[in-house]
Amino acid sequence: MTTAERQRSAQELIRPQLPAELIERGKCPFDPASGLTELSGHGRIHRIEHNGESVWLVTGHEEARAVLADPRMSSDRINSPRARKLISPELHAKIFPPERQAGSFIFMDAPEHTRYRRLLTGQFTVRRMRDLTPRVHEIVTAQLDAMIEKGPPADLVRDFALPVPSLVICELLGVDYGDREEFQHRTSKLLSLKTTIDEQIEVGTELRKFMLQLVRAKQRDPGDDLLSGLVRDTDLTEFELAGIANLLLIAGHETTANMLALGTFALLEHPGEFAKLREHPELAENAVEELLRYLSIISMGVSRHAKEDAEIGGVTIRKDETVVVSVPAVNRDESQYPDPHELRVDRPRGHHVAFGHGIHQCLGQQLARVEMVVGFTELVRRLPNLKLAVPADEVPLRTDMSIYGVHALPVKW
């Protein structure tokens, strides 16, 4: 394989492993790909051939939870058999040097993952996240005040959905909010499906340098933030601390920002549900869980590879084979949710997999829930007549990103 071929192959690591008809959303921006919905009606685990590769695609709810909880299913995408096949040792070392892998616990298995997770679990307890609710409320209120004072039309992404979780995670980690444009731009590049491997390497290096500077500042002058606590109370290396901080910073604002924006878009396109939430704010927690299920912004799926042969749902998955859990399909499983393609903010809470399942279940899910409950509650209360400022088909969708959402949401009131 030539260098150019290996470079193209390396880019496949940041791109979908499935054909377009199983990924690309159709006419409705909130529904899974039509091919995915059709496939789900013919079984719960499927063998998919694409670009000379064979993967298992999981669309059933119980089967997905089984895969995500099975210790034989590895999360180590960096050192997976697929990565070793697609990338030469020289290029692999360039893309994933040891200092870049340090602290990247979402791509680790036990016991390495367990060590990092244990250090962080105490920082993200349900109680601590609920204790943050008043501060989240202040941040939400301030953003809405500024947006309302400026007057319509507004871009809900720029003026509300992105700054709210960015401010929260910056305060939690001890990152200067003035640096937000820098890390938001670089995060966007990392998550773009158009970013080349060379650009991935460059952006990853810049983010690591940014975080190393912050870690060293906390070592000199620690505060009462989460990162200072890790610096003070653990024996983690600078690279491990920087890696952990990068993961938390990226995950802490990108996913919640997209849920706030896309969730608002969905509510505006379902005015009956918007009105129901406006008139019954006590439904906010149910509404958040329903939006998480209904929208499933991790639309490319969650990948695992088998470390040994494993039987899941009556199918034998062989060692080194790749398994992709389709989150949009799993969260629309008809055996789990009555009328799964309908948005119902009063739907009883179910066991969706929007935050994953098993030991890799999202560490910051309680914080995300607090931000969304407060965000949606105050948004519909303060702007009861909120509506789109453009036709729905003119809203720019994030189909070019690994996390689904909208690039902008023009609104008026």
- The model's pLDDT over 44-88, given as tens digits with 9 standing for 90+, comes to 999 999 877 889 999 999 999 999 999 999 999 888 888 777 777
Phi-psi region of 303 (alpha: psi -120 to 50; beta: other; left: phi over 0): beta
DSSP-derived 3-state class of residue 311: strand
Identify the residue with better confidence: 96 or 44. Answer: 44
Tens-digit pLDDT profile for residues 251-267:
888 999 999 999 999 99
DSSP 317-328: EPTT-EEEE-HH
Q: Give the span between the Cα atoms of 389 and 371, in whole angstroms.
A: 25
Q: Give the span between the Cα atoms of 323 and 75, in whole angstroms.
A: 10
- Whether pLDDT at 11 is above 70: no
Identify the residue with better confidence: 6 or 309. Answer: 309
The CATH superfamily assigned to 3-412 is: Cytochrome P450 (1.10.630.10)
What is the band of 10 on the pLDDT scale with cuts at 50, 70, 90?
A: low
Tens-digit pLDDT profile for residues 264-277:
999 999 999 999 99
Q: Give the span between the Cα atoms of 346 and 60, in whole angstroms.
A: 24
Q: Give the span between the Cα atoms of 210 and 173, in whole angstroms.
A: 14
* Pairing mode of beta strands 53-58, 322-325: parallel
Q: Count each helix (H run) and each strand (E run) in the chain, helices first.
A: 19, 10
Q: Give the span between the Cα atoms of 264 and 139, in whole angstroms.
A: 18
- Whether pLDDT at 307 is above 90: yes
* Pairing mode of beta strands 45-50, 315-317: unpaired
The per-residue pLDDT for 4 is: 55
Determine how many CB atoms are found less than 10 A away from the CB of residue 54: 10
What is the band of 13 on the pLDDT scale with cuts at 50, 70, 90?
A: low
Q: Give the span between the Cα atoms of 162 and 403, in whole angstroms.
A: 14
Over residues 22-30, mean pLDDT: 89
DSSP-derived 3-state class of residue 53: strand
The per-residue pLDDT for 3 is: 55
Tell me the percentage of the chain whose pLDDT exceeds 90: 64
4: which residues sit within 8 A by CB, 6+ positions away? Answer: none
Max CA distance (Å), the chain: 62
Q: Give the span between the Cα atoms of 58 and 22, in whole angstroms.
A: 12
Over residues 370-398, mean pLDDT: 97
- Whether pLDDT at 174 is above 60: yes
* Pairing mode of beta strands 410-412, 387-388: antiparallel
The per-residue pLDDT for 403 is: 93
How is the chain split into domains, by residue range? 3-412
- Whether pLDDT at 162 is above 90: yes
Phi-psi region of 318 (alpha: psi -120 to 50; beta: other; left: phi over 0): beta
Element (H, E) at 55: strand 53-58
Tens-digit pLDDT profile for residues 196-253:
878 888 888 898 899 999 999 999 999 989 999 999 988 999 999 999 999 998 888 8
- Whether pLDDT at 7 is above 80: no
Tens-digit pLDDT profile for residues 136-150:
999 999 999 999 999
| Encoded tokens for 412 | 């008026």
